[in-house]
Amino acid sequence: MVDSLPLAELEFRIALLPAISRGAHLAGPTLHARRLVELWKVDDNDDVPLAQAFRLLDAETVARAILRTSATRDYPSDPCHWIFPPLADLLPELQECAWQAMLDGALLVEAIKGVRGTRLRVVLPTELPRLAPDWRLSRLVRDGCDEEIGGEGRDEFIDVHVRRPPVERVKKAWRDKPSQKDVDAAVKYLVQSSPGNLSEEESWQAVKVLVPSLTRKQVRAAIDLVESSSGNLPEEKIRQVIELLMPEVTREQVRAAIKKHKLTRPPGRPKKNSPT
């Protein structure tokens, strides 16, 4: 968990920030928001107490909070420099934004269930709407029951911490299954090429037209697999070769391509029922 920053210290640090010129910076609130986020930044893997969950907000959200706070209060005007709300005035808006982010699941909440609990657990977004945040003590209480903390059987959480969700690796789920026509062409090109004469560059250029996302590593692996067999390739090995080039291909597509071109028949063998 990241160390908490006392609000008085934050106020002092903010007061030391240089003034922002109105003439040089038309988007003063956005620039100030970026400075605040940098001033109290939290690493992606760290969590903060509920009281300081606002430190996890992005600059765009902080900028909106600055504008909303400025619109609801009267602050001195300065024709030369931007005047921004102090942190004490800004805090309620920041807390509201942080709470909404928790409700939306954009921020993850962990806490100890009940006053007698001992272990942290994740508080699901579906549990949050019937709770209210106690920012001062970093706890969640049943909405409207803040004055009776400690009662038996209450749905409340203590020692509440908040973090950003982990960044998940994007799966390539958007790749479409290749068309049967492309599978036919790829199978025919690779299998009918003379053994030992498969050129990586020629294969790359020919098959890349069918599979734009193809990499040279895939082509090299497919060639090695083809060259490892003497004579005609069996159906299973043809399927393995095409899967290297087209990961989304189905067994039925490969089988249909083989049947269409009769690619597994050894050369020189006459067709069944054909005259000799």
In tens, the pLDDT along 220-260 reads 777 676 666 655 666 676 777 777 667 777 778 777 777 76
Is-contact 263 187, C-beta < 8 A?
A: yes
User: Can you give the pTM of this predicted structure?
Assistant: 0.57
- Across 12-28, average pLDDT: 86
| Tokens at 182, concatenated | 């492309």
**Range among 111-115, 151-155, 158-162, 190-194 with highest mean pLDDT value:** 158-162
Cα angle 198, 203, 205; round to 5: 150
Q: Is pLDDT larger for residue 247 or for residue 34?
A: 34
- Across 54-70, average pLDDT: 92
Range with lowest mean pLDDT among 46-60, 179-193, 240-254: 179-193
Residue 276 — very low, low, confident or very high, per pLDDT cuts 50/70/90?
A: very low
- Across 202-227, average pLDDT: 66
C-alpha dihedral, 168 to 169 to 174 to 179, nearest 10°: -150
Residue 203 — very low, low, confident or very high, per pLDDT cuts 50/70/90?
A: low
| Model confidence at 271: pLDDT above 70 | no
Q: How many CB atoms lie within 10 A of CB 40?
A: 21
Query: What is the average pLDDT score of the chain?
Result: 77
**Which sign does the torsion angle of CA 139, 144, 146, 150 carry?**
negative
Q: Is 276 exposed, middle or buried (0-12, 13-18, 19+ CB in 10 A)?
A: exposed
**pLDDT by residue (tens digit) across 73-130?**
888 888 888 889 999 999 999 999 999 999 999 999 999 988 777 788 999 888 999 9
Residue 268 — very low, low, confident or very high, per pLDDT cuts 50/70/90?
A: very low
Q: Is pLDDT larger for residue 217 or for residue 60?
A: 60
**Residue 266: alpha-carbon gap to chain centroid:** 50
Residue written as token pair 């920053």: 5
Rounded-to-integer distance, Cα 192 and Cα 255, Å: 16
